[in-house]
Amino acid sequence: MSETARVINEPWPSLPRQREAVTFAVWLFLATEVLFFGGLFLGYTVYRWLYPEGFLIGAQETDIVYGVSNTAIIMTSSLTMAVAVRAAEQDMRRMVFRCLIATALFGLAFLVVKGFEYYDDIIRGFVPGPHFPLHQTGAELFWTFYWVMTAVHAIHLTIGIGMVATLTVLLHRRKLPLVSPAYEGVALYWHLVDIIWVVLLPLLYLIGRAS
Amino acid sequence: MNPFVYFSRVSNEAIAVDHIFFALTALSIVIVGVVFLLLLVFSVRFRADNPVHRRKPPRIFEYIWTPATFFLFLFIFWWAAANQLGALDHPKDSLDIHVVAKQWMWKVEQPNGVREIDEIHAPIETPVRLVMTSQDVIHSLFLPALRIKQDVLPDRITYLWFTAQKPGIYHLLCAEFCGTEHSRMTGRLVLMTQPDYARWSRSQGPSRGLAAQGEKLFRSLGCSGCHGPNSSVHAPDLAGVYGREVHLSDGRVVTADEAYLRDSILKPGSAIVAGYKPEMPSFAGTVGEDDMVKLIAYLKSLAGHTTINQQGERR
Amino acid sequence: MTDAILDRLPQAKQPQTYLNEGYTLSSWLLTTDHKRVAILYALSITFFFFIGGAAISLVRLELISPNGMMLTDEQYNRLFTLHGIIMVWFFLVPSIPTTFGNFLMPMMIGAKDVAFPRLNIMSWYIFVIGALFTIYALIAGGVDTGWTFYTPLSTLYANGSVIAAAAGVFVAGFSSIATGINFIATVHLQRAPGMHWKRLPLFVWSIYATSIVMILATPVLAMSLLMIVAERWLGMPIFNPANGGDPLLFQHLFWFYSHPAVYIMVLPAMGVVSEVLACFARKAVFGYTAMVISLMSIAVVGFLVWGHHMFVSGQSQFANLVFSFLSFIVAVPSAIKVFNWTATLYGGRITLKAPMLYAMSFIGLFTIGGLTGLFLASVPIDIHVTDTYFVVAHFHFIMVGGAVSGFFAALHFWWPKITGRMYPDNWARIGAMTTFLGFIVTFMPQFFMGYAGMPRRYHVYPEQFQAYNVVSSVGAVILAVAYLLPLFYLTWSLRYGKPAGRNPWDATGLEWQTTSPPPKENFDRQLVVSAAPYDYENT
């Protein structure tokens, strides 16, 4: 009972009500995020439609090994995140703790792999600008979208890792009881970041390999 | 100095636009008048200390004014749209004047190669088409006396059509904010009678026609090496290409207009004619907007020489 | 009657209000009270209102002469850009929602606070960070792209602090999003018992509709600004035609936000006007259901009309036709609102207090703005008048004649509630009438000037437009006086104004059922709502 009292914030009369509000607000935020990325997806669609060959030629230069391993990593992180939320509902504190740490570590692993991939891309010169190696119209646009999309996604993931880490620390110090709606809110965000990556995978890595 | 002098209109299209404008203005004045009048009358009649009989406004009004507004707006839309679609019906044989916009001037080339800066001379009672592009940012060519305006975009061709009726000197303005000297990117539209225009063209000194200049470029850039009649390279024959339907390797069928020719020169890979290999180099950076105008003029002039049927076979 | 006595009693012991909860700076800067957050916002946007106003005063002064007298082209361009960016994103968009929405919406639904009080103060800080970026852009020399940031001018050619300005707007956008989410959650989950959706005051509905537009449109603006920064700063081609980019893509993304942004500005004002009219006509708003439906349909259809800003941009004629049609459709609910407001007055008991005068000027000016919108929705006319002063006049009728009149109506209507003091009504009425007069004199000539062919954003202009410009500048002086006037009498009222009491206007809203200024908890008990709003006929 006291745990419940500790997580209730003004102006909420009861925890279920507050939980409802948090979930609702996070869903609204996810709608915002969809429109945020929507701008990028729209640009990508327009240019891919204008320059189909350029996009194919550009996309063949992305490294699918990095793409697929990162997909595996981030999907696993979503699994551990989901388990953490279920465990929180069942009041399994240690389990929540371990799952959160695993989620944050998977997130970091994703960023490390992404870092290696960026390094490779830069070494090979695939940075849009005057010295861009591909000359087909559209290839450079593809790589612009590659960089902007993955960078914006990585920023989202970094924020996500920060939030998961905060939850972990608060849980460890027993400052955030398991009944708090924060776990569910962060998890929703985390899954969105995962889903966005799942959309990026075919757009950036798979299109060059279909034929 | 009289500000109303400016309401001069020099084409039938301008008069049509004015008619819609005046009708809408009249309608707006009536509606605004009624709203203001009602606000005033109600404020006086129903002032708090006026002992007058009060009743509620009948709900039926809602059911009247909602559809009434809807159908009124629908009517205005129909009227304006009909006018818009009518204005799209352009005559085929127009006098083409090329316009290249740059920060902060208008460069104009007449069909006979006469160049002008910030000035467009054009004959009246003749369909004129402005073929426009920009070298840098987005500009917008605005001819208020004709009630027309069109944005001018970099790397893209846009058009303006007009058939003027009244000779005179009118404003030519840039309407899209284009940087520091935007408000100085102005000039004159000089409309002349046909004989005056012909006299003016001749008086502009000996100048080679645009197409002739384009032909020279066609050779010096090496286009004729592949596209010429005696070339051994397998490249599309360009005689009569302008205005023709072209079948592309990806199955599309496009009409070879200015934009198509331009793209084919700058981005040859974007539209490969069916049956040919994508081996032409891009001339982006080599061919500027001025040269482009000449090259296209040359390609268009080729249309007269050979008769070519839809399939591209020479007859 | 007992209320009146109670109001006089508290002289004996100071009543608890949100204002005397604490006097330290941190009690303000770390507050989570929606009322204090509203005051913080109000101070910030007032500051920006006068900065944006100062910029445009210089512009109007310069335009008295057709050849420019004191400014260079560069300075002129920077001034009108500054005016646009500040007024749109740092005054108009946040104006009513973050101040009156924040202060009153929770009270009007009988709540203690917004759904997420800490998010609320955080969004003010985000707004301030965005504002700091913008002020930096200003100090670093300004921006000369126009508030529209069109590419490739903004990314490749302009030489001002585009990145800082874009960053400022980008950051401020997240403040909008946070506020929007907060308000939607508040309206959904914080309503007092008995406060059904059909009993919500129209102001709450308008804030709700605005919030939906905020959270769905703003992220698209954020992304398009991010793309601008990527292209300008990192040299990544996105809109650059030399690399195959399409500058029109930016315009589509930009107007997908910026057209709905107009509704972010004007919907709350519509809500305010409904409250004020009902109160001073002592009558329920005519056609409540129709009013709600039109608010919501403006918010939704408003997302589908952005292309009418691009009739001459080179988009296809078919697109022009569709956008033209949808623009006519979105005008229908606006027209219905005007009819309903007018009908509300019929059979009322009308007193023309200052808020009422502002509300009535809103109706008049909004009607003119809306009707001229029909001109712009008609493609052949728009081709002629777009990017001329006709457009400038049109959107100022909506944003200033509409949104700012609404803001001032709200300010005068709820000032007694917010501060607990009455202002001198005669001064306020003079202010309202001066505003209306100044506005008409400033912007009416611009319609004629625009149709006669004067393009907007022109520093030097053909001489035949001078007469219009001089009249317009004279109007701007009147308008400036009218906007400064409330600053004086409202400040005066803080100290010398009569105590307002709970409900100086005898209004029906829940916000009037508590003391003025309200206590931190808003109400001393949990309210239960048992009737529809605007129950004026039975009081």
Complex prediction ipTM: 0.93
Q: CA of B288 to nearest chain A CA: how many angstroms apart?
A: 18
Report the pLDDT value the prediction gives residue C399, as an integer from 0 to 100. 94
Within-domain flag for C538: no
Contact by Cβ (8 Å): C60, C473: yes
- Beta-carbon contacts below 8 Å between A and B: 7
CA distance B205 to chain C (A): 31
Q: How far, CA to CA in Å, does C38 sit from each of C124, C242, C411? A: 9, 47, 12
* Residue among A153, A205, A206, A168 nearest A81 (CA): A168
φ, ψ dihedrals at C56, nearest 5°:
-75, -25
| Chain centre distance of CA C179 | 15
Burial of C43 (0-12, 13-18, 19+ CB in 10 A): exposed
Comparing C530 with C210, which gets the higher pLDDT? C210
Domain boundaries, chain A: 10-209
Cα–Cα distance, C475 to C435 (Å, whole number): 10
Lowest mean pLDDT among A62-71, B207-216, C222-231: B207-216
A51 reaches B (C-beta below 8 A): yes
pLDDT of residue B5: 45
B36 vs C364: CB contact, 8 Å cut-off?
yes
Q: CB–CB of C223 and A40 under 8 A? A: yes
Q: Rounded to an integer, what distance in angstroms lies between the CA atom of residue C49 and that of residue C33? A: 24
The minimum CA-CA distance between B270 and chain A, rounded to whole Å, is 7
Residue B232 to chain C, least CA–CA distance (Å):
32
Contact list, A149 vs chain C (CB under 8 Å): none
Judge whether residue C422 has pLDDT over 90. Answer: yes
**The pLDDT of residue A3 is above 80:** no
pLDDT band of residue B310 (cuts 50, 70, 90) is: very low
| Interface contact C152, partner B, CB < 8 A | yes
* C127 within domain boundaries: yes
Q: CB under 8 Å to A169, separation ≥6 — which residues?
A: none
Per-residue model confidence (pLDDT) at position C194 = 93
Which pLDDT score is estimated for B55? 85
Which chain A residue shows the shortest CA-CA distance from B284? A137
Tell me the pLDDT of chain B averaged across its residues.
83
Q: Which residues contact C98 (CB under 8 A, 6 or more apart)?
A: C37, C38, C41, C45, C123, C124, C127, C179
CA-to-CA dists, residue C466 to C60, C66, C383, C437, C450, angstroms: 12, 6, 24, 21, 12
Best of A49, A53, A135, A140 to disrupt the B interface (most B CBs within 10 Å) is A53
Question: Does the pLDDT at position C528 exceed 80?
Answer: yes
Q: Are strands B105-109 and B95-102 parallel, antiparallel or unpaired?
A: antiparallel
Question: In this complex, is the C-beta atom of C238 within 8 Å of any C-beta atom belonging to chain A?
Answer: yes
Measured between beta carbons, which residues in chain B are less than 8 angstroms from residue A51? Answer: 270
- Under DSSP, is residue B156 helix (H, G, I), strand (E, B) or coil? coil
Question: What is the least distance, in Å, from the CA of A25 to any CA of chain B?
Answer: 36
- pLDDT computed for residue B210 by the predictor: 78
pLDDT of residue B204: 76
Please judge whether A128 and C235 are an interchain contact, meaning their C-beta atoms are less than 8 angstroms apart: yes
- What is the mean predicted confidence (pLDDT) over B265-285? 79
Asked if pLDDT for residue C5 goes beyond 70, the answer is no
For residue B233, the model assigns a pLDDT of 73
Residue B315's pLDDT is 30
Range of the domain at C39: 2-10+25-509
Residue C496: CB partners within 8 Å, gap ≥ 6? Answer: none
Distance CA A197, CA A187 (A): 15
Q: Is residue C314 within 8 angstroms of chain A, CB to CB?
A: no
Q: What is the pLDDT of residue A185?
A: 94
Helix (H, G, I), strand (E, B) or coil at C66: coil
Q: Is the minimum CB–CB distance between B145 and chain C shorter than 8 Å?
A: yes
| pLDDT tens figures, A111-121 | 999 999 999 99
Total structural domains within chain C: 1
| C19 falls within a domain | no
Q: Phi/psi at B246 (nearest 5 deg)?
A: -115, 130
- Locus of tokens 């850009």: C81
Question: Is A137 within 8 Å of chain B by CB?
Answer: yes
- Tell how strand B119-123 and strand B187-192 pair up: parallel
Q: C248 Cβ partners below 8 Å, 6+ apart?
A: B153, C310, C313, C314, C315
CB contact (8 A) between residue C246 and residue A46: yes
| pLDDT of amino acid B312 | 35
pLDDT digit string, tens, across residues C46-91: 999 999 999 999 999 999 999 988 999 999 999 999 999 999 999 9
Please give the pLDDT value at position B246: 80
| Mean pLDDT value of segment C116-141 | 94
Where do the CATH 1.10.760.10 domains begin and end in chain B? 210-301
Q: Quote the minimal CA–CA distance from B269 to chain A in Å.
A: 8
Confidence (pLDDT) at C4: 47
Nearest neighbour of C238 by CB, restricted to A21, A43, A130:
A43
Does residue B213 have a pLDDT over 70? Answer: yes
Q: Do C351 and B21 touch (CB under 8 A)?
A: no
Q: How far is CA B20 from CA B27, B76, B97, C326, C379, in A?
A: 10, 9, 29, 19, 11
Better pLDDT: B166 or A106 = A106
The CATH T-level fold of domain A10-209 is Four Helix Bundle (Hemerythrin (Met), subunit A) (1.20.120)
Which residues of B are less than 8 Å from A135 in CB distance? 282
Which one of C118, C184, C224 has the shortest CB-CB distance to A28? C184
Percentage, residues of chain C above pLDDT 70 = 97
* Residue B284 structure tokens: 């982006």
Closest residue in C to A20 (Cα) is C189
Q: Which of A148-162, B33-47, B265-279, C506-520 has the lowest mean pLDDT?
A: B265-279
Q: Sign (positive/negative) of CA torsion C171, C172, C177, C178?
A: positive
Looking at domain B1-46+90-207, its CATH class is mainly beta
Residue B208 is predicted with a pLDDT of: 60
- In the predicted model, is pLDDT for residue A9 greater than 90? no
Q: Do A53 and B267 touch (CB under 8 A)?
A: no
User: Does some domain include residue C288?
Assistant: yes
Rounded mean pLDDT of chain C?
93
Question: Which of B69, B149, B156 lies nearest to residue C384, judging by beta carbons?
Answer: B149
Mutation target among B149, B158, B267 for the C interface, most CBs of C within 10 A: B149
pLDDT tens column, C481-515 = 999 999 999 999 999 999 999 999 999 999 999 99
Residue C414 located in a structural domain: yes
CA angle B99, B102, B104 (to 5 degrees): 115
Residue B140 bridge partners (DSSP): B151
Give the residue on B whose Cα is nearest the Cα of A136: B269
CB crowding C432-458: b at 16 or more within 10 Å, else e: bebbbebbbbbbbbbbbbbbbbbbbbb
- Tell me if chain C has a CB within 8 Å of the CB of A21: yes
pLDDT at residue C3 is higher than 80:
no
Residue A144 has pLDDT above 70, yes or no: yes
Reduced to 3 states, what is the DSSP secondary structure of residue B235? Answer: coil
Cα–Cα distance, C48 to B165 (Å, whole number): 50
Asked if B287 and B265 count as a contact pair (C-beta separation under 8 A), the reply is yes
Which chain B residues are closer than 8 Å to A57 by Cβ? none
DSSP bridge partners of B134: B101, B154
Which pLDDT does position B240 carry in this prediction? 72
For residue C304, pLDDT beyond 70? yes
The two three-digit tokens of residue A17, written as one number? 């009500």
* Structural element, H or E, at residue B132: strand B128-134
By DSSP bridging, strand B168-174 and strand B139-143 are antiparallel
Q: To the nearest whole angstrom, how far is the Cα of C399 from the nearest Cα of chain B?
A: 18
Band (A210; pLDDT cuts 50, 70, 90)? low
Supply the pLDDT for residue C335: 94
What pLDDT is stored for residue A10 in this prediction?
79
Chains that touch C (3 or more CB pairs under 8 A): A, B
Is the per-residue pLDDT at B21 higher than 90?
A: yes
Q: Which residue intervals of C109-197 are DSSP H helices? A: 117-139, 162-189
Mutate to test the interface with C, among B183, B282, B287 (most CBs of C within 10 A): B183
The one-letter amino acid code at C433 reads M
Q: Which pLDDT does position B7 carry in this prediction? A: 60
Subunits in contact with chain A (3 or more CB pairs closer than 8 Å): B, C
Cβ of B58 under 8 Å from any chain C Cβ? no
Matching CATH number, B210-301, of 3.40.1170.20, 2.60.40.10, 1.20.210.10, 1.10.760.10: 1.10.760.10
Nearest CB neighbour to C324, from listed B57, B80, B182 = B80
Residue in chain C nearest A54 by alpha carbon: C244
Q: Average pLDDT, whole number, for chain A?
A: 92
Which domain CATH number covers C166? 1.20.210.10
Q: Which of A8, A24, A28 to mutate to test the interface with C (most CBs of C within 10 A)?
A: A28
Judged by a CB distance cut-off of 8 A, whether residue C406 touches chain A is no
Q: According to DSSP H, which parts of B145-288 are helical?
A: 194-203, 210-220, 223-227, 258-266
Question: Is B22 part of the contact surface with chain C (CB cutoff 8 Å)?
Answer: no
